[in-house]
Structure 1
């Protein structure tokens, strides 16, 4: 590829840090069938993504508790034990990002993340403060793969879309970035990421 990449944009969850809501809930709801039912019917992905869009946890909890009053303790546990859902960083991915920053590359981050939990993550994982900046979905009221969030990030950080590459673990978000005009690669592990970035002329 001959594309001149000047801007590298990282997703965070499942690219730089691990995320798995089953970690605390395997203790709170030991029965796997019941736990899967809970995530499919109560604290669903669609419910959680609205906190990424900016809805407060108080509003989110109240909504579900009204619908599932017997599940109040487990509903409140989602935010209460959120820290257990993000137990560690992906050191190899972080090393790639830090290496790009160290050689003077323009690195930013674009993430679907609730505002408060992102600040908690920044405090726990200091490397999240190293890039030039971040667009947090919960702060701007937009979520990937909405084209508007890529546009917002581009304008906020003065990026040239054709000279930008985005790294995300979700195919739908990668396709959204491409639809906006960015280059984008699907993250499946650090070695593949190194290969993909090298193909775009970035030495990592």
Structure 2
């Protein structure tokens, strides 16, 4: 049974999000910047906001743990827009090809419900997906198996009778593609648009250049 549907992660696949874009300005020293982003404003902390914790609550909890880092911590969401570098043109081109071929497209993203409206407003490519599961809205985050079940149920409303092995999920985090595979989907670990396109063709998708 060939896959019919493609689900995109956004950050790292379609949208260039990188905390370094902001923190290079705030912490010029590369070693100190890396220490801060791995020990203070960690990705585990970010995922808690992505999973529905309010930005205000998450920020104050972290400031209480690291009061000497308060200014830098508050900048994370206070200047969050400076972490966005725009869209990846090659990722959008892949969306173009799949859409032109009539492939149903969906989104599954770990993103705070409080910051996602900025992306929705500034990146029109997001409005081309039939449905988007935003972790902060459903209060679940990848790689929790429940968010894949929620996404599968949403896809089924648009594509009745869709089977798990007819769904392909593209994500730049291998933990998330592994979780998709555990749900019965095809997980494609995104390293470049070219490599992802080749993997989609190998799965049976046919689309023009």
Give the ranges of 4+ consecutive aligned residues of structure 1 lying more than 3 Å apart after TM superposition: none
- 1-side partners of 2:100 and 2:59: how far apart? 42
How big is the shift at 1:11? 0.7
**2:77 aligns to what?**
79
- 1-side partners of 2:168 and 2:38: how far apart? 33
Count how many residue pairs are aligned between Structure 1 and Structure 2.
Answer: 202
TM-score, L = length of structure 1: 0.95
Q: Secondary structure at the match of 2:93?
A: helix
- 1-side partners of 2:119 and 2:99: how far apart? 20
- Compute the RMSD of aligned alpha carbons: 1.2
Q: Secondary structure at the match of 1:192?
A: helix
- 1-side partners of 2:79 and 2:2: how far apart? 43
Contact in 1 for aligned 2:87/2:123 (Cα 8 Å): yes
Instruction: List per-residue Cα deviations over 1:39-98 (Å, max 9, x = no partner).
Output: 122111111110111111100111011122222211110012211211121111111112
Which ranges of structure 2 fall in alignment gaps of 5 or more residues?
157-161
Instruction: List per-residue Cα deviations over 1:152-177 (Å, max 9, x = no partner).
Output: 00012204212111111111111100
- Residue in structure 2 matching 1:67, options 62, 65, 68: 65
Q: Does residue 184 of structure 1 match 2:182?
A: no
**1:113 aligns to what?**
111
Contact in 1 for aligned 2:55/2:114 (Cα 8 Å): no
How big is the shift at 1:103? 2.7
- Residue in structure 1 matching 2:176, options 173, 176, 189: 173
Contact in 1 for aligned 2:170/2:189 (Cα 8 Å): yes
How big is the shift at 1:99? 2.1
Contact in 1 for aligned 2:101/2:206 (Cα 8 Å): no
- 2-side partners of 1:194 and 1:69: how far apart? 46
How big is the shift at 1:36? 1.7
- 2-side partners of 1:162 and 1:45: how far apart? 30
1:1-204 pair list within 5 angstroms: 3-158=1-156, 159-204=162-207
